[in-house]
Structure 1
Amino acid sequence: MLSGRRLFFLSCLSICVAGTVAARAEEKRVVRDMTGAEATVPAHPERIADLWFAHNEVLAMLGAANRIVVTADRPSGQPWLFRLNPALSKARFVMPGSASPEALLADGVDLVFVSAGLTQAGPLRAAGLSVLDMTFQDVQGLLKSVALTADVLNDPVARERAAEYRSELEAELDCFRKTLSSLKEDQKPRVLHVMSLSPLMIDGADTIIDQWIRYAGGRNAAASVSGGKKPVTMEQIQAWDPDVIIVQGGLPLPRPETAPAGWSGLRAVRQGRVLANPAGAFPWDRYGSEFLLQLRWAGMQLHPDLFGHYDLKGEMKAFYRTYFGSDVSDEDISRILTGQPPA
């Protein structure tokens, strides 16, 4: 049996620990989200609701997948994200825009990440939740989002990974600028990025897709259109007649019997330059942290004479080990590169 003194000591220790945990939970600080809005957030957030598909990958990259208790992602939509981060399977799924403030509070959520185009922050803030809008449209926004997330997580691992990611991406962008500096405009292939085949939707200017096309030495065939996920007609695509067509990661390439009418007559189709974009923890070609790999892949596709030396498979292994703490096999790499889910 424990002595009275021992029981008294354990009781005091328990009270002290509980008090420390409670005090830690009550610590707050003020930050500005991606829109510039001020938000009061926990100094050490532990139970996070992430209601933007792309941002779940950022949290996972920074080592915080185990803090996500509510997510907009699910295994059927982002199978590699869940494969690389098994802890995410414990989170409750909710569709963006339909998240109930009462349910989030019942989940014990202490921080919510949203994208304004999917979930309005106002009602959640009105319910007393700490909310950060993480929306961005370009590479600088991506880097700012990663840095802000690491700062809010207030964790040394997150800060270290965010700093390393910024350094690596900025060095890569500089390398691409220097390598392509002597390239004339007519030496850059015209690239069309197809977001959906049915209905036909493309990504135009003022998007991160437009940026990686240009950074990789291409010209966006749809540069006259502003914004992403824009509906178009086949007649418009025929007028553009791109040199290269890149179909969003995770979508199957059209077969002759399933292709839209007029597809087979396009220059890129005739010349065999229709490419399926890789898809990993998130589609590489959209608003995720695998932008770094997307840039390297796109450079190899558009200018193999300049970027064919990349050991992309080796770099993929290093990327997922460094930023996700996961080892991927050769089979995994092959499946990611072809936009397939895990075996």
Structure 2
Amino acid sequence: MTPIRLLLIIALLCCSAPAAQARAIVDMAGRKVEIRDRIERVVTLGAVPVINGFLFALHEQDTLANGLPPQLARKYQYVFAPGLAGKPVVQGAEKGLAVEDILALKPDLVLTMDIATAQKLGDLGLPVVFLRWTAPEDVKALMALLAEAFDKADLARDYAAYFDAVVSRVSAWSGAALNRPRVLYVNLRRLTQPHRIAEWWIEKAGGRSVTDDGRLQESVTFSLEQMLAWDPEIMIVADQGELKTAYADPRFKDLAAVRDKRVFVAPMGAHLWANRTIEQPLTLLWAASLIHPERISREKLEAEAAAFYARFFDKALSNEQIDEILAGASER
């Protein structure tokens, strides 16, 4: 994009904007952001499926102005927001952000979890809100912030109450458990535990994460020798290909989880449940059903998932769709 063309787009954007914005909110970096009273076009950047999930929970999927990058496409994103299929893609794995295309969309709100992106686009005059999710319960603060932007505080309160109720329920189960099995959430291709939030849900669900050493980094890499020494009793993987690898690769045959057929694929709804997602309460219930199956049956888990999507995403899913999500079979 040439500097002259960029300036023309910025000028056009400024001319088309109202003389004064209706209100201001403070984002999770402490930045004051002026936004319009009525938000009709939202651009989500970076962790697009994660951010989109919050809009689904606020029943604002129709405001999404951009589509999913191919590498981040998830089948149920299109189920929860059918209009995504026809929206322009404004970021890519190789070219990064298409700034010109973002400006041309004239968004009322831009959402990102990358502070550099927030600052860059904010300097161009766009209303960019930075979202931070480091601690597990940040999901509630993030939901409350976006609910403020859309004037839907009641939905944020409802979600927070449900989140707390599930954590309390599952904590009671795990607290009464006599043993905590060794659990590993793993990317077998890279021998990493890819997301720190898994340390939280494994512990809350009644397991003992073998990678939980108090680390601060998002992911941790380890050797095959270390993995064998940990000898996890339960393994969680991200997709069906990894499940096949766990059982087919001779390097893993002596692991307790492999021997006992306790390798499981994380469910995939709006996003992968094992990672950061608005579906985190379901992650806890699902993990508890694996670690202490006497506490929650498959039938109860299915009912809980169906109720969650109906209540928070305003989407009634069929039994087949719930089964597909729980099986982790909806990857793309």
In the alignment, the residues of structure 2 paired with residue 108 and residue 23 of structure 1 have an alpha-carbon distance, to the nearest angstrom, of 9
Residue of structure 1 aligned with 2:126, choices 123, 126, 129: 129
Whole-angstrom distance in 1 between the partners of 2:167 and 2:208 = 17
Give 2:326's match in structure 1, choosing from 311, 317, 337.
Answer: 337
Matching residue of 2:223? 233
The aligned residue for residue 62 of structure 2 is 66
SS for the counterpart of 2:85 is helix
Matched, 1:159 2:153: yes
Q: Any idea what the Cα deviations from partners look like across 1:180-213, whole Å, max 9, x if unmatched?
A: 33445xx11111001x222222146xx3211111
Query: What CA distance in whole angstroms lies between the structure 2 residues aligned with 1:75 and 1:277?
Result: 18
Q: Which residue of 2 aligns with 1:181?
A: 175
Q: 1:256 to 1:41 in 2, by over 3 A?
A: closer
Q: Give RMSD over aligned pairs.
A: 2.6
Say whether residues 1:39 and 2:33 are aligned partners.
Answer: yes
**Following superposition of structure 1 onto structure 2, how do residues 220-259 of structure 1 map, counting pairs within 5 Å?**
220-224=209-213, 225-249=215-239, 252-255=242-245, 259=249
- What is the distance in 2 between the residues matched to 1:26 and 1:91? 29
Distance in 2 (alpha carbons) for counterparts of 1:251 and 1:230 = 21
Separation in structure 1 between the aligned mates of residue 218 and residue 325 of structure 2, nearest angstrom: 23
1:144 to 141, 145, 153: 141
Q: SS of the counterpart of 2:322?
A: helix
Residues 302/77 of structure 1: CA separation in 2 closer, same or farther (3 Å cut): same
- Which residue in 1 is equivalent to 2:183? 191
Q: Does 1:318 align with 2:316?
A: no
Q: Distance in 1 between matches of 2:136 and 2:39?
A: 26
- Give the CA deviation at 1:253: 0.6
TM-score (norm 1): 0.82
Question: Does the CA-based 8 Å contact 1:335-1:342 persist in structure 2?
Answer: no
Report the Cα offset of residue 178 of structure 1: 2.6
The one-letter code sitting in structure 2 at the alignment partner of 1:35 is: A
Q: CA deviation at 1:338?
A: 0.9
Q: Distance in 2 between matches of 1:89 and 1:342?
A: 16
Q: Which amino acid aligns with 1:159?
A: A
Identity of aligned residues (%): 27
Task: Tell me how far apart the structure 1 counterparts of residues 246 and 172 of structure 2 sit (CA, whole Å).
Answer: 40
Structure 1 residue 251: Cα displacement: 5.1
Quote the offset at 1:172 in angstroms.
Answer: 1.3
Query: Between Structure 1 and Structure 2, how many residues are aligned?
Result: 312
- Deviating beyond 6 angstroms after TM superposition, the runs of 4 or more aligned structure 1 residues are 22-25
Aligned pairs (5 A) from 1:204-283: 207-224=196-213, 225-249=215-239, 252-255=242-245, 259=249, 262-283=251-272
Ranges in structure 2 where 5+ consecutive residues have no aligned partner: 1-15
Give the match's secondary structure for 2:270.
coil
- Does 2:83 match 1:92? no
**Cα gap change, 1:143/1:76 in structure 2, threshold over 3 Å: closer, same or farther?**
closer
Task: Identify the residue that residue 171 of structure 1 maps to in structure 2.
Answer: 165
Q: Structure 2: how far apart are the matches of 1:280 and 1:75? A: 16
Contact 1:25–1:42 (CA under 8 A) maintained in structure 2? no
Q: Which has more radius of gyration? A: 1
Higher relative contact order (CA 8 A, sep 6+): 2
Instruction: Pick closer, same or farther for the CA change 1:239–1:256 going to 2, 3 Å.
Output: closer
> Would you say the 8 A contact 1:25–1:44 is kept in 2?
no
Stretches of structure 1 lacking an aligned partner (at least 5 in a row): 1-21
> How far apart are 1:331 and its partner, in Å?
1.1
Amino acid at match of 1:234: L
Task: Tell me the equivalent position of 1:301.
Answer: 290
